[in-house]
Amino acid sequence: MDHESTNQFFSRLSPKIGFLLGLGGAAMLMFVIGFFVLLSIVLKQDNSSAAARQPSANAPAAAAAAAPTSPPTGNRVGAMAPITDQDWIRGNRNAKVSIVEYSDLECPFCKRHHPTMQQIVAAYDGQVNWVYRHFPLTSLHSKAPKEAEATECAGELGGNDGFWKYVDRLFEITPANNGLDPLELPKIAEYVGLDKAKFETCLNSGKYAQKVQQQYQDGVAAGATGTPYNVIVAGDQKIPVNGAVPFEQFKAVIDPLLQQQ
């Protein structure tokens, strides 16, 4: 149909039919516009949802190791094994307050927490001691149990002093997050003044694997879910402090306890 025929066709239409055709065309146009607007809204929402689900590139690789600072749900700390002469204790064994730390030697938060604990023992000078127990998070740090055994061998060969020197040095050099080369373990022993050959014999025997596992189970019973997990003990009082919290947060708990003693 040419342009002239089209004009003749529309000129023969009644005003009513022309109105209805115009109205229908307008309705169709509005429908098309509305469809595309709705489609754009739906696509935008889908993209926003996908972005919300996408983890940040800066998010920690193992968020579970972060160890929240609030006490665990259902405080079971009363089930913690009592402190005995078999524990490795830094500071005055007869101190009024003890801090029992359940630790993973490859945990980056434990590495950060270690100097804070050293600061506490030094600052309170005989009033607070530090009890170290093993809590290797094997699902994250497969090397941690053997490293824990290494510290026990250091304690066997060098006593309480040898144990703490070994732990200090290990935390000093490990990159954390399962990054320490196992070949470094005998070198650390030699560095802190232990007999390297005897250390290797002890470590290869696996004689302390059961002790490490038992301390892990004790930590679970006491409410530990991550590391570092600390329990401040003063008399019959046991107060959990979860995570690598700053010195001031420990001080806020310790000072009132010392005043009570």
Strand 97-103 to 128-134 pairing: parallel
Contact (Cβ atoms closer than 8 angstroms) between residue 106 and residue 180: yes
- Tell me the per-residue pLDDT of 162-207, one tens digit each, with 9 for 90 and over: 999 999 999 999 999 999 999 999 999 999 999 999 999 999 999 9
- Tell me the per-residue pLDDT of 105-124, one tens digit each, with 9 for 90 and over: 999 999 999 999 999 999 99
Confidence (pLDDT) at 77: 85
- Tell me the per-residue pLDDT of 199-241, one tens digit each, with 9 for 90 and over: 999 999 999 999 999 999 999 999 999 999 999 999 999 999 9
Is 14 or 80 the better-scoring residue by pLDDT?
80
Mean pLDDT, the chain, as a whole number?
A: 82
Contact (Cβ atoms closer than 8 angstroms) between residue 104 and residue 198: no
Contact (Cβ atoms closer than 8 angstroms) between residue 240 and residue 71: yes
Strand partners, 101: 132, 230
Q: Which helix (H) or strand (E) holds 158?
A: helix 144-173
Contact (Cβ atoms closer than 8 angstroms) between residue 117 and residue 99: yes
Contact (Cβ atoms closer than 8 angstroms) between residue 113 and residue 244: yes
Six token digits for residue 40: 């754009």
How many DSSP H helices and E strands does the chain contain? 8, 5
Tell me, yes or no, if the pTM score tops 0.95.
no
CA pair distance 50, 20, nearest whole angstrom: 45
